[in-house]
Amino acid sequence: MTALRALPGVTAAVVLALCASGVEDVVASRAGGSAAHRPSAAHTAPRPAILPRSAWLEAGSTAPARQPPARYDDKVVAVFVHHTDSPNAYDCAETPRIIRDLYTGQTGARQWDDIGYNFLVDRCGTVYEGRAGGVTRAVTGAHTQGFNHRTVGIAAVGTFTAGVEVPRVMTDAIAAVAAWKLGLSGTDPRARVRLVSSNSGSRYAAGTPAVLPAVAGHNDGYMTSCPGAALSARLPEIRAAAARLQGRPGEPQQGHSPPAGRTEAAALPSDHRADLRWGS
């Protein structure tokens, strides 16, 4: 029996939700959303195997009664990597239960509308769909306060502080998801991209443009130790692996900032206020 099983249900849910501290829930998007961004001819990557929500969301586990429909952005240009701050000594057969505990903590005590992460990856390299809305679409997540627009949140299941081993299959799986999602917008995983903060609780005041890595750690956008020192140290490797999966040679392409004198604020949904009914 793992350490997580030894915890009471509510306590386990709270432990799993720790890394989510400072995570912002969905902000309102254009009515009806938008279709998935169509891939460009060059530098795309294949879609990795992804287990659907039904693999972890039991028939008896239902979303909050007031859960609104998914929100969407026009494309994904950055990935934020997280860890779930939960025990590492789990059998991969337990991953669905761990994700359910995280979901319960976020939609219960925190009163969010859904799990915040778009994807979760376990120590065996298995990728799970997290937030609802469709894995092929640019679903607005609730993973990095101020920077949920045009981004995807990928959570590594476990705690990856300094000195902790990060399984290679886990980083390979994170790279595969990043390569695929960023390839749909033609974004080089090694590049830096321009985002606009939507919440002053982040590292940047609301409305401030920020140039961040296309594959960033949670702590690049928010004051936190997540995704842990050990996983943060693997981010350069993840970026390089994702670029290889996209078939990119040489140095990163830096062509994703808007023209001089223009920020991407105009490209954000017209109403980008945080929906305080579902977290902060």
pTM: 0.79
As a whole number of Å, the CA-based R_g of the chain is 17
Q: Phi then psi for 147, rounded to 5 degrees?
A: -135, 45
| Tokens coding 68 | 């609104």
Query: What is residue 183's DSSP assignment?
Result: H
Whether 19 has a pLDDT exceeding 90, the answer reads no
**pLDDT, position 66:** 66
Whether the Cβ atoms of residue 156 and residue 173 lie closer than 8 Å to each other: no
DSSP H or E segment with residue 10: helix 9-16
C-alpha atoms less than 13 angstroms from C-alpha of 204 in its C-beta half-sphere: 18
Q: What percent of the chain has pLDDT over 90?
A: 66
The residue ranking higher by pLDDT, 221 or 21, is: 221
pLDDT band for 116, please (50, 70, 90 cuts): very high
Cα–Cα distance measured from residue 260 to residue 93, given in angstroms and rounded to the nearest whole number: 50
C-alpha atoms less than 13 angstroms from C-alpha of 84 in its C-beta half-sphere: 34
pLDDT per residue as tens digits for the range 239-262: 999 999 999 987 765 544 333 333
Q: Which of 80, 162, 152, 84 is nearest to 123 (CA)?
A: 84
**pLDDT, position 252:** 65
**pLDDT, position 31:** 32
pLDDT per residue as tens digits for the range 145-173: 999 999 999 999 999 999 999 999 999 99
